[in-house]
Chains A and B, each alone.
Chain A
């Protein structure tokens, strides 16, 4: 094995790889097969609307994964990740908008409807290039990445940490929301971008396109998970964990705290952007409410519920909380917010390590005599 394959293999322990591959295969292959081939009246059949809903939740899971990289590992609680998600979504939305062409209500092939409505004569410069998918795809990561880089550089260099950082990230997403609400910004004002027709030539209303978008989401989630694993198992990952514990010690060891945080924050924002870009074609709309500060706070809740600092936990948390949300808003919409509030209180008070921490505790209770080697300091026995 060469050094690169060895490094890749070391991303997970043996059983971790098994779980990862089974889950990825089940979601990426199993679900579409059940959708396509299980008879519609069988219990195994997964209807397309469920596939679409799962795709949406997996986008949230991707967003929660992104937040975990900065919050769970570097200790930077960003409450503005919804902004990076929305920016990625807008970049994708602009591509989809340009793809409508002359099938729009006004039938203008050169301008999106809302620009015709505003009586604009030509396409603003910042819309140039968005008729090309590759350009839009590039912007999906570059725009959130650049914003995170500049914002993070200013904040981390000035040693803004803790609650102050959380507050300014909230301010950032709020400011962006207000800006995107304005019609003059050229992003469709409060209606946002919608009424999409096709993506890469595929009809957006077709079931196959919906399933395809879902599969793409699963694959991006799996790849992003591995990327995050690569980062947190690297020496830089240990620097991130270290600075969560003792930032000044990291500085006095000669490591750049600003550099490490900035790297994690920028990569995280890029992943959030991809999540947004996958989300928009699946829900069919992007509007400024995606920037709302409450959205970003919800991401933190998903992450905390699943178990921060675990990468897998936040994925689980996003799926669990959103699954519960769909269920409760279906059967009893009036109690959903109470449930969410109660969940947050319970997790904060009783499950500081989230659902994954709970699972580990239960496992520990069941097998008290068999501690896992990596949680038990090896020198313990010799010193006892």
Chain B
């Protein structure tokens, strides 16, 4: 059984084995402010997890650490049980199969919806390969399928900048799916959406979570309930509580710091 010494520390390696994402004792501070304070979190393959917490709890910093945007001061961040994410840059981490959706919809406004998805398609990423790349029939079919999933078939040739807010959010989710990630992180995917759009997004995410791990950071409790998955509450850079939504909502400390009503 013993894992070969892939990670420097044998203790975490054993725990990390079999997880898709493993954070142990991760700390990050900015000018003395501890954004993350010995944060530990394990996500299993195929799991969908919601992260909630008040502003400044460290949710965005946690995603920055996982995607390589911020380097942790200490702690282990392992993907797939063995790959040390603290040593890689954003592009390398993305190519491992980790996708990230920003809070504000971030799409390429001067490209069409179709072209946005084309750039996101999994494939060779070396500069010269991209220069000489041409769209194959299979890729075209894949984009068409994605367009159907995110309900933007009609808008395929529209500039992404002309989409509504909700449509941009879906397009960004579609771009993440085009990357065929094994692990997907979404930062407040329904912020600014109408109720109907929120409901459709919840359906979309449940569909997506069927064959990959998903982590959702959210404020909207109705949406968290609609997702119906395990919830982790962050507070001051570490985990305050974990469990079903009902359990954490009943937790006294959570009520104190977060729900507070």
Contact = CB atoms under 8 A, between A and B. Distances in A.
Interface of A: 3, 7, 231, 234-236, 238-239, 241-242, 244-246, 248-257, 259-260, 262-263, 377-380, 382-383
B109 to A, nearest CB: 5
B119 A377 contact: no
Given A231-B131, A236-B133, A251-B89, 18 more contacts: A234-B131, A234-B133, A235-B118, A235-B130, A235-B131, A236-B131, A241-B111, A245-B110, A246-B106, A248-B90, A249-B107, A254-B92, A255-B119, A256-B127, A257-B91, A262-B127, A377-B162, A378-B156
Interface stretch (B29-37, B94-102, B191-199): B94-102
17 contacts: A3-B134, A231-B131, A234-B133, A235-B131, A238-B111, A238-B119, A239-B119, A245-B108, A249-B106, A249-B108, A252-B100, A254-B91, A259-B126, A260-B127, A263-B128, A378-B157, A379-B157
Contacts of B90: 248, 251-252
Contacts of B154: 379, 382-383
B246 interface: no
Given A235-B118, A379-B157, A259 B110 contact: no
- Please classify how large the interface on chain B is, using the bins under 10, 10 to 19, 20 to 34, 35 or more: 35 or more
Nearest to A10: B134
B120 A253 contact: yes
A255 B125 contact: yes
Contact of A377 (B94, B102, B158): B158
B158 A253 contact: no
B106 A248 contact: yes
B236 interface: no
A131 B130 CA distance: 39
A256 B132 CA distance: 15
Contacts of A234: 130-133
A260 B116 CA distance: 17
B179 interface: yes
Contacts of A238: 108, 111, 115, 118-119
A251 B157 CA distance: 24
Interface in B18-62: none
B155 interface: yes
Contacts of A380: 158, 162
A217 to B, nearest CB: 27
Contacts of B110: 241, 244-245
A356 to B, nearest CB: 16
Contacts of B128: 263
B67 interface: yes
A234 to B, nearest CB: 5
A241 B127 contact: no
